[in-house]
Structure 1
Amino acid sequence: MDPVDWFLSPGERGNPSTRLDRRHVAGRAWTEGNLVTPLVHGAAYFGALLEAVSRMGPGDLLLFVDWRGDPDERLTGTGGSEVGTLLADAARRGVDVRGLVWRSHWDRLSFSAGENRHLEEDVNAAGGECVLDMRVRTGGSHHQKFVVLRHPDRPHLDVAFVGGIDLCHSRRDDAGHAGDPQRQSMAAVYGPRPPWHDIQLAIRGPAVGDVETVFRERWEDPQALSRSPARWAGDTLRHDRPHRRPLPLQLPDPQPCGPHPVQLLRTYGRRLGGYPFAPRGERSVARGYAKALARARRLVYIEDQYLWSAEVCSLLCGALRRSPELRVVAVLPHQPDQDGPVSRPPNLVSRARLVKELNAAGPGRVAVYGVENPHGTPVYVHAKVCVIDDEWASVGSDNFNRRSWTHDSELSAAVAHPGYARALRQQLAREHLDADGDLALDDHFTAFAESAAALEAWRQQPSAGPRPPGRLRPLDSPDQSRLTRLWATPLYRVVYDPDGRPLDLRLRRSM
């Protein structure tokens, strides 16, 4: 296969202001020769991160970006492995630690303003430099989650961690799905220790330089970190008006070390004043999916926190109509993460509409499942994964919704390589099916359907015998009344899934 067929060209990215593509040779918008390792679940990622950071020493560079950071989250469950301790200790050893953490909305709205500020304070007190970044559209967030480790004297240790896992509570779970003892508040259906399904990538090779460039573009943006006078006043009273020090010169990219071509896909909304590196925003996440889905012929496998919006539905329905043999399998959370009377219905209404339209476009070729752990507790699916025909796979911070495709900042790593894509899909399938061995591409749809049917039958009559293997069940989709749909639909479109495109692109319905 040729990555040209799957990846965006610089022109197709649609953002000539970024240096992300200009830094490549021969007009490519990606790198070759990388080694990409999926780290499924927070426990695997946190353990790898702790080990890698612990090896860093004076003169090394650590860059991290996060949506939420809890400084007391224990990366391995033991004392001394806390996120704040790890980063602060690195700074005290002489590592140049820099962080960009979203300046979150208020905690009273179920966000993480306090936690993010405490992480900033811990890092800065130790000699690092972490800032709270609110340079987003109104109502938006910096949703990227990545870490870059560079070693001037030991470039073979350079690595970038990219995906959807925040350095915070509830993320440290594993395939057993007993949940993280350090939990965040979630809907009651997920229990006292919410099980959590997620994924991050460890990237080695030249693509590390690309991930670092994403950080540098944001760090070097000269605009104020917040436009709010109230926030300026509060920062002044706390003596917290940081002046960002220039970053050291960027090192040469790490040498090739593997077989994987990697393209970084991003979202930046069109905001007042613009980003210097994306004056009209960037929507390469959406464009990357559009190009890849146009080639889909056999199976689109999705794991995602959300699956909604007309734009997402249009691409998937178009793929189903073009390819009569194509099947779509999606693994989603059974229920939204919050169960309030206002927050829950917009999630369910928008998801139900999209699933109905997909089934109409491909009758009998669309299947949507939720996951539960061996004790029957629903697992919250926070992963953001898409594998197409075992040839192209994307893992990142972006969800399958308009907010992630146009509005908030996002970062995803796409790999066009059959061995990688196939292995990733099979690894995820083995967990959901409680099965060993490899699952062939053309058997995936049927294997998931049979496993979910068996578990659902057992749940209806558990006295019939032991619980069958597998964790998949048909998605919980409680009906919403017509009155609920009337108020929840506009709320979903305006608040939960806003549009961050420039006006001309909205009018043309183009990304």
Structure 2
Amino acid sequence: MAVEGTRLFTEGDDLYVAMLTSIRSARNSVRMESYIFSDDEIGWQFTQALAERAAAGLDVRLHLDAAGALGGSSQVMERYLRERGGFLKWFNRWNWRHPLRYNRRNHRKLLIVDDQVAFVGGFNIHRQSSRRFYGEARWRDSHAAITGELVDDATRLFDTFWHGHRHWMPAQRGRLTPTLVSNNTRSCRHRIHCLYSDAFAGARERIFLTTPYFVPDFLTQRRLIQAARRGIDVRLLVPSKSDVPITRWAAQAYYDVLMTAGMRIYEYQPRMLHAKTAVIDSDWAAVGTANLDYRSFFLNYELVLASGERGFCSQLEQHFLNDLTESLPITSVNWERRRWSGRMLEAFGWIMRRWL
């Protein structure tokens, strides 16, 4: 346990075992949201566990994003769950009368069992995150299990969203207290963007960031550049291998200006990096579903666990430092020598940055 009530996961198989064990031991209810929920070995383990609990008379609800599940989930899985009494709802299915709604996605990953334990983070439900089924190339990700009073907030976040009320957010408990943060509230349409912006501006010693998709808006760039220029140790970890190549091109378009300001950039080498974490000054950290890009900050519905708990911060910082040992630094000298073809792809990614 990182701290009382919080446990961190970086291996999909460990996380899936914990989640499935919780589901199978449920006595009253199971609520689950996922962006990707694939028709594969992992997806069927969860489908069968959910269906078994539904058939036993429990309230089982599964909320999936229509865009995220496109081409992954199947009607067979949906029918299997519904026939056994489970409820499944699709978020923003395609509608020709409202085509722009399809672009606003529910990117949250959340599981709540019996209102006693909740899981939140970056892991989707698919074989790509399983060493058992995908091998050594499985995705590197981060997730957290929480217990205690924070689960009440997670439950209400799920229930209000399930019923179409998308602006409720728990009361903020202060910087050091564990808090669940969504990014679209009545008082602030871009709450997670504000959360990170304020954290960067208030940093005193270091900012350690991990994100698979780094396409920052102007304010985020400015906050990071200002921090680096005032002597803050700002380090960014991004993947060398990406499942969406254009986002990597877009990220690389920012390298020059960030490195000139003093920011250090690393590319993770072994496999796809999908974790979304931040550690500020070793006394504030966040893990969740939000990337440092336009889509997470301004379009998608996201969910982040932020906390100043010492054990939580220490573990996330250690995970970051461990990942750096498997990463290569980007240096100004090497970066200036990159090919013109790469520069052209960066320019294309930069032009498309708001739509990625």
TM-score normalised to structure 1 length: 0.60
Query: What's the counterpart of residue 143 of structure 1?
Result: 107
SS at match of 2:215: coil
SS at match of 1:314: helix
Is 1:294 aligned to residue 201 of structure 2?
yes
Query: What's the counterpart of residue 466 of structure 1?
Result: none
User: Gapped runs of 5+ residues in structure 1?
Assistant: 1-32, 76-80, 106-110, 152-157, 174-179, 183-191, 224-252, 254-259, 269-277, 339-343, 373-377, 433-447, 449-469, 497-511
Query: What's the counterpart of residue 327 of structure 2?
Result: 472
Contact kept in structure 1, 2:227 and 2:234, CA below 8 Å: no
Match of 1:91 among 39, 49, 54: 54
Residues 282, 144 of structure 1: alpha-carbon distance in 2 compared, 3 angstrom cutoff: same
Query: What's the counterpart of residue 40 of structure 2?
Result: 72
Note the aligned Cα RMSD (angstroms): 2.8
Query: What's the counterpart of residue 223 of structure 2?
Result: 315
Q: Give 2:16's aligned amino acid.
A: F
Is 1:332 aligned to residue 233 of structure 2?
no
Q: Give 1:92's aligned amino acid.
A: A
Looking at structure 2, the residues matched to 149 and 491 of structure 1 have their Cα atoms a distance apart, in angstroms, of: 40
Contact kept in structure 2, 1:301 and 1:328, CA below 8 Å: yes
Is 1:356 aligned to residue 256 of structure 2?
yes
How much does 1:195 deviate?
2.9
How much does 1:280 deviate?
8.2
SS at match of 1:419: helix
Match of 1:266 among 159, 163, 182: 182
Q: Give 1:328's aligned amino acid.
A: V
Looking at structure 2, the residues matched to 197 and 218 of structure 1 have their Cα atoms a distance apart, in angstroms, of: 28
Residues 304, 86 of structure 1: alpha-carbon distance in 2 compared, 3 angstrom cutoff: same
User: Gapped runs of 5+ residues in structure 2?
Assistant: 94-99, 171-175
Residues 485, 420 of structure 1: alpha-carbon distance in 2 compared, 3 angstrom cutoff: closer
Looking at structure 2, the residues matched to 357 and 423 of structure 1 have their Cα atoms a distance apart, in angstroms, of: 30
Looking at structure 1, the residues matched to 248 and 315 of structure 2 have their Cα atoms a distance apart, in angstroms, of: 32
Residues 303, 116 of structure 1: alpha-carbon distance in 2 compared, 3 angstrom cutoff: farther
SS at match of 2:228: helix
Identity of counterpart residues, as a percentage? Answer: 23
Contact kept in structure 1, 2:37 and 2:72, CA below 8 Å: no
Contact kept in structure 1, 2:253 and 2:350, CA below 8 Å: no
Residues 138, 101 of structure 1: alpha-carbon distance in 2 compared, 3 angstrom cutoff: closer
Match of 1:44 among 2, 11, 14: 14
SS at match of 2:183: strand
Query: What's the counterpart of residue 166 of structure 1?
Result: 124
Q: How does 1:217-296 map to 2 (within 5 A)?
A: 217-221=160-164, 261-268=177-184, 278=185, 282-296=189-203
Q: Give 1:367's aligned amino acid.
A: R
Query: What's the counterpart of residue 489 of structure 1?
Result: 350
Deviations 1:427-452 (CA, angstroms, capped at 9, x unpaired): 4434x3xxxxxxxxxxxxxxx5xxxx
Looking at structure 2, the residues matched to 63 and 133 of structure 1 have their Cα atoms a distance apart, in angstroms, of: 15
Looking at structure 1, the residues matched to 327 and 346 of structure 2 have their Cα atoms a distance apart, in angstroms, of: 28
Runs of 4+ in 1 over 6 A off after TM superposition: none
Q: Which has the larger radius of gyration?
A: 1
How much does 1:261 deviate?
2.3
How much does 1:138 deviate?
4.2
Is 1:207 aligned to residue 150 of structure 2?
yes
Query: What's the counterpart of residue 97 of structure 2?
Result: none
Is 1:128 aligned to residue 86 of structure 2?
yes
Q: Give 1:39's aligned amino acid.
A: F
Match of 1:53 among 11, 20, 23: 23
How much does 1:300 deviate?
1.0
TM-score normalised to structure 2 length: 0.84
Contact kept in structure 2, 1:35 and 1:205, CA below 8 Å: yes
Contact kept in structure 2, 1:68 and 1:116, CA below 8 Å: no
Looking at structure 2, the residues matched to 90 and 51 of structure 1 have their Cα atoms a distance apart, in angstroms, of: 12
Contact kept in structure 2, 1:34 and 1:206, CA below 8 Å: no
Q: Give 1:371's aligned amino acid.
A: Y
SS at match of 1:403: helix
How much does 1:140 deviate?
3.0
Residues 392, 308 of structure 1: alpha-carbon distance in 2 compared, 3 angstrom cutoff: same
Looking at structure 1, the residues matched to 348 and 327 of structure 2 have their Cα atoms a distance apart, in angstroms, of: 32
Residues 63, 356 of structure 1: alpha-carbon distance in 2 compared, 3 angstrom cutoff: same
Looking at structure 1, the residues matched to 154 and 285 of structure 2 have their Cα atoms a distance apart, in angstroms, of: 17
Residues 100, 297 of structure 1: alpha-carbon distance in 2 compared, 3 angstrom cutoff: same
